[in-house]
A and B are shown apart, each in its own frame.
Chain A
């Protein structure tokens, strides 16, 4: 029971940290892409949109190569640690948050920027109020980012190694139990993962809908 609790806690920790980092990167980057008018913008957006569909195993492979003992970042000794999973999950979630942030802001009336500036907003105030105006799709971006990492298995397995008591998360534990033929255990863990994901999304949806009525 304690082991399942620890696995669940670690799953939530790494995915929450990866989602927060993705938000810290993706919100400003997506805003810059949405509001900017520069050469190469469409190209960067197309790369980000491709990144939204990045296969977790490919991310896992690249991160594993980088962090491998003989790899360029091998001296950091991060392979098979929770930090390695956070790095891989951030690479998976960041394009999702960036792409959906850009889409959310691009969906606003473009004259809204001029209106806010025309009322005396500074650049920072303008961006803050645009975020406020797009808060519902931005929260959806956050939910999508979290959903993309809490449910992935390939990257966590490759860079975390599924080490008992250290890097085992819910998804990698489910794979392990299935490979052992312990379907009952695997089903129980799957149900736990689904319930957790549901509860987190329920809370975010509640916040989102409360924002819609405000």
Chain B
């Protein structure tokens, strides 16, 4: 589904991410791990076409980014950020936001929003303002807002990092079930190797702005590609 070739992304003139080759299969959950500032979020932003590569290519469904109309491309994707970034409106309106952008008919919006609010357990909060939600509730709304779009590719940038451990564990379980249920293609950034192992088909390790290794959790844990990967894995919470 996605092929990344010789990708170089620079931020403020400095190399932020270099990937020689990375393929993501349809229906696959790829987890990206790496230390802070390693370039994980940069990868997601590039996949969402929110930043431009200095060189190299991201091929999606056989077409390079240049061959895609920007808006058409972006509308195949949903992005969930580290913080929920909800708009100052009701939960229901927040969940409906992406569908509103796409000009989806009102009846369909209502039906899909209702379904996903229920699925993520925020149905009872539908009329509440975003500012009145707890961190966990807000992130649930953020996930509902992404899933309701039925995206071909779901990008999740450490969506649980600001949550307390019990909320994080519950939300992780729910997300894990959702991803397994509908075999959605997803790229998930986390610091937690345990989460990465449970959630994903494969793990990509980025350290120092370079993609070092891609493989199953077992392969990465048993045969780290180099000392940098081994040292990084050693420091991760298990």
Q: Chain A interface (Cβ within 8 Å of chain B)?
A: 109, 111-112, 114-122, 125, 129, 132-133
Q: Which of B24-83 contact A (CB under 8 A)?
A: 45, 48, 50, 71, 74-75, 77-79, 81, 83
Task: Using CB atoms, name the residue of chain B closest to A136.
Answer: B88
Residues of B within 8 A of A (CB): 45, 48, 50, 71, 74-75, 77-79, 81, 83, 85, 87-88, 97-98, 101-102, 145-146, 149, 155
Q: How far is the CB of A70 from chain B (nearest CB, A)?
A: 53
Is A122 touching B71 in the complex (CB atoms < 8 A)? yes
Name B's interface SS.
Answer: mixed
B85 touches A111 (CB 8 A): yes
Q: Once the chains are docked, how many angstroms separate the CA of A111 from the CA of B88?
A: 15
For the complex of A and B, 7 pairs with smallest distance between CB atoms:
A118-B79, A119-B98, A120-B75, A115-B85, A120-B101, A121-B101, A120-B98
Shortest distance in angstroms between A183's beta carbon and chain B's nearest beta carbon? 49
In the complex with contacts A114-B45, A114-B50, A125-B101, A119-B81 CB distance below 8 A: no
From residue A135, how far is it (CB to closest CB) to chain B in Å?
A: 9
CB distance from A104 to the nearest CB of B (A): 13
Docked-complex contact A117 and B74, CB < 8 angstroms: yes
Contacts of A129 in B (CB 8 A): 87, 97
The majority secondary structure among interface residues of chain A is helix
B50 touches A120 (CB 8 A): no
Q: Distance (Å) between the CB of A177 and the closest chain B CB?
A: 47
Q: Which residues from A are CB-within-8-Å of B85? A: 109, 111-112, 115
Do B75 and A117 have beta carbons less than 8 Å apart?
Answer: no
Minimum distance in angstroms from A134 CB to a CB of chain B: 9
Determine whether the beta carbon of A118 is less than 8 Å from that of B71.
Answer: no
Contact of A120 among B45, B102, B155 (CB under 8 A): B102
From B77, B88, B102, give the contact of A118 (CB < 8 A): B77
Contact A114 to B101, CB < 8 A, known contacts A119-B145, A122-B71, A133-B88: no
Q: A112-B87, A121-B98 are in contact. List 20 more A-B contacts (CB 8 A).
A: A111-B85, A112-B85, A114-B48, A115-B79, A117-B48, A117-B50, A118-B48, A118-B50, A118-B74, A118-B78, A119-B78, A119-B79, A119-B97, A119-B145, A119-B146, A120-B74, A120-B75, A120-B98, A122-B101, A129-B97
Bound Cα distance from A15 to B50, whole angstroms: 42
- Chain A residues lying within 8 Å of B149, measured Cβ to Cβ, are 119-120
* Min distance, Cβ A127 to any Cβ of chain B, angstroms: 12
Min Cβ gap A80→B in Å is: 47
Determine whether the beta carbon of B83 is less than 8 Å from that of A132: no
A-B contact pairs, 25 of them (CB 8 A): A109-B85, A111-B81, A111-B85, A112-B85, A114-B48, A114-B50, A115-B81, A116-B97, A117-B74, A118-B48, A118-B77, A118-B155, A119-B79, A119-B97, A119-B101, A119-B146, A119-B149, A120-B75, A120-B101, A120-B102, A121-B98, A121-B101, A122-B101, A129-B87, A132-B88
Shortest CB–CB separation between residue A107 and chain B, in angstroms? Answer: 13
Q: A119 contacts which chain B residues (CB < 8 A)?
A: 78-79, 97-98, 101, 145-146, 149
Name the residue of chain B whose CB is nearest to the CB of A212: B88
Q: B81 to chain A: which residues have CB within 8 Å? A: 111, 114-115, 118
Closest residue of A by beta carbon distance from B145: A119
In the assembled complex, how far is the CB of residue A109 from the closest CB belonging to chain B, in whole angstroms? 7
Q: Cβ of A114: which chain B residues have Cβ within 8 Å of it?
A: 45, 48, 50, 79, 81
B83 A111 Cβ-Cβ under 8 A: yes
CB distance from A123 to the nearest CB of B (A): 9
Residues of B with C-beta under 8 A to A118: 48, 50, 74, 77-79, 81, 155
A120 touches B71 (CB 8 A): yes
B108 to chain A, nearest CB (A): 15
Within the complex, what minimum Cβ distance (angstroms) separates B220 from chain A?
28
Most buried by A among B45, B85, B146: B85
A116, A120, A132 interface centre (most CB from chain B within 10 Å): A120
A111 to B155, CA, bound (A): 15
Which B residue sits closest to A115, measured CB to CB? B85
Contact partners of B83 in chain A: CB under 8 A: 111
In the assembled complex, the Cα of A52 lies from the Cα of B181 at a distance in Å of: 57
CA distance A133 to B145 in the complex (A): 17
